[in-house]
Amino acid sequence: MAWFLTLLVGVVILAAFRAYNKYTSGRCRCTTRLDGKVVVVTGANTGIGKEAARNFAARGARVIMACRDLKKADEARDDIVSSTGNDNVLIRPLDLLSLQSVREFVAGVVRSEQRLDVLVNNAGAGGLPHKYTDDGLVMGMQANHFGPFLLTCLLVDLLKKTPSSRIVTVSSAAYPYGFFDIDNMNCEKDFNGFYLYCNSKLCNIFMTQTLAEKLKGTGITANSLHPGVVKTDIFRNVPNETIKSIASAGVGFFFKNAEAGAQTIIHLAVSKEGGHVSGKYFMDLKERGLASVAKTPGLAEKVWKRSEDFVKLAENERPF
């Protein structure tokens, strides 16, 4: 009986997810072309990053896929070029778990590009172990916040050279559960994977708020978003192939697919609204109010300054 009740509860929860996703899913109907424009998408080899990159390529953009797994990136690029007819899609290696890789990636972009119209901070990870990178940072915090933070800081100058450029950062609706402790920003004490993920996504919002404030008057907008509950390969490690297939099919039925999950990214990157508002948080193509934890006075600026220290931002690297 216990297993039946557990199964029933699981089905009810998944059904609720499906109903929620069906009710809230929006689609970017904007027809804006991106010919002559340059877009960087991190984590563009799979999932919502790949679908966003595909959409930008279909609009005529020069798309730079910033990826760690180059084999998957090659496969994704071939698929994007084949489906859009746009072969101006490039792959550049980027490993957010290495600050040196971030710096090398930016140096390459600055050498090859004269402009940057859109930066999409999409790449991130959940469920990473409590281990440290060679930079002395907890892996999950570096993948989700410190790496994207450094990347954004180093690309601000190129963004400033480009009229009406945009920064779009993928956060999560889990951010309100980040009970933020500025003294434990690297999540070293009392490690908890869920706590870390929520904190890192809260940091994405704090970064966006501070960018919006510091970039006032430059024409650059910065916004964050929750993509929705999106289908992933979360069951890839299940050893039983039959159970894995059933579970994956269930996720595919109840959750958004990657193309639907990419719509708010696309909206903020190409719509008029995305170019007129800054420092805001979006979900299902609409601006949403922030939870109280994200409105703590002065906390966003403190997070910014501590982040500069954690990534060892040199004086000549500081954008402000």
pLDDT tens-digit map of 23-81: 556 899 999 999 999 999 999 999 999 999 999 999 999 999 999 999 999 999 999 99
pLDDT band at 236 (very low <50, low <70, confident <90, very high): very low
Average pLDDT over residues 138-153: 97
Least confident stretch, 84-93, 105-114, 129-138, 191-200: 191-200
CATH code, domain carrying 256: 3.40.50.720
pLDDT score, position 8: 72
**% of the chain at pLDDT higher than 70:** 85
Distance, CA of 55 to CA of 216 (rounded, Å): 28
Q: Given a cut of 80, is residue 214 above it in pLDDT?
A: yes
Count of the separate structural domains present in the chain = 1
Least confident stretch, 13-27, 211-225, 305-319: 13-27
CB burial readout 42-70, b (16+ within 10 A) else e? bbbbbbbbbbbbbbbbbbbbbbbbbbbee
Residues 6+ apart with CB under 8 A from 69: 45
Average pLDDT over residues 228-253: 54
Q: Given a cut of 80, is residue 182 above it in pLDDT?
A: yes
Radius of gyration of the chain (CA): 19
pLDDT score, position 224: 98
Domain presence at residue 21: no
Domain presence at residue 22: no
Q: Given a cut of 80, is residue 14 above it in pLDDT?
A: no
Average pLDDT over residues 175-191: 87
Least confident stretch, 19-28, 159-168, 211-220, 309-318: 19-28
* 100: its two tokens: 């040196």
Domain presence at residue 14: no
Tell me which residue range forms the domain holding 246: 32-317
pLDDT band at 235 (very low <50, low <70, confident <90, very high): very low
Q: Over the chain, what is the mean pLDDT?
A: 90
The residue from 20, 175, 177, 197 that is catalytic is 197
pLDDT score, position 17: 59
Domain presence at residue 15: no
In the sheet that holds 38-42, the strands lie side by side as: 89-93, 62-67, 38-42, 118-121, 166-170, 221-226, 281-283, 286-288
Domain presence at residue 1: no
Domain presence at residue 153: yes
Neighbouring C-alpha atoms within 13 Å toward the C-beta of 62: 11
Q: Given a cut of 70, is residue 309 above it in pLDDT?
A: yes
pLDDT score, position 2: 65
Q: Given a cut of 70, is residue 10 above it in pLDDT?
A: no
pLDDT score, position 245: 57
Q: Given a cut of 50, is residue 244 above it in pLDDT?
A: no
Domain presence at residue 67: yes
Least confident stretch, 127-131, 145-149, 197-201: 127-131
Domain presence at residue 45: yes
Which one, of 187, 107, 98, lies nearest residue 141 by Cα?
A: 187
* Residue 197 falls in the annotated catalytic set: yes
* 244: its two tokens: 């894995």
Q: Given a cut of 80, is residue 243 above it in pLDDT?
A: no
pLDDT score, position 247: 46
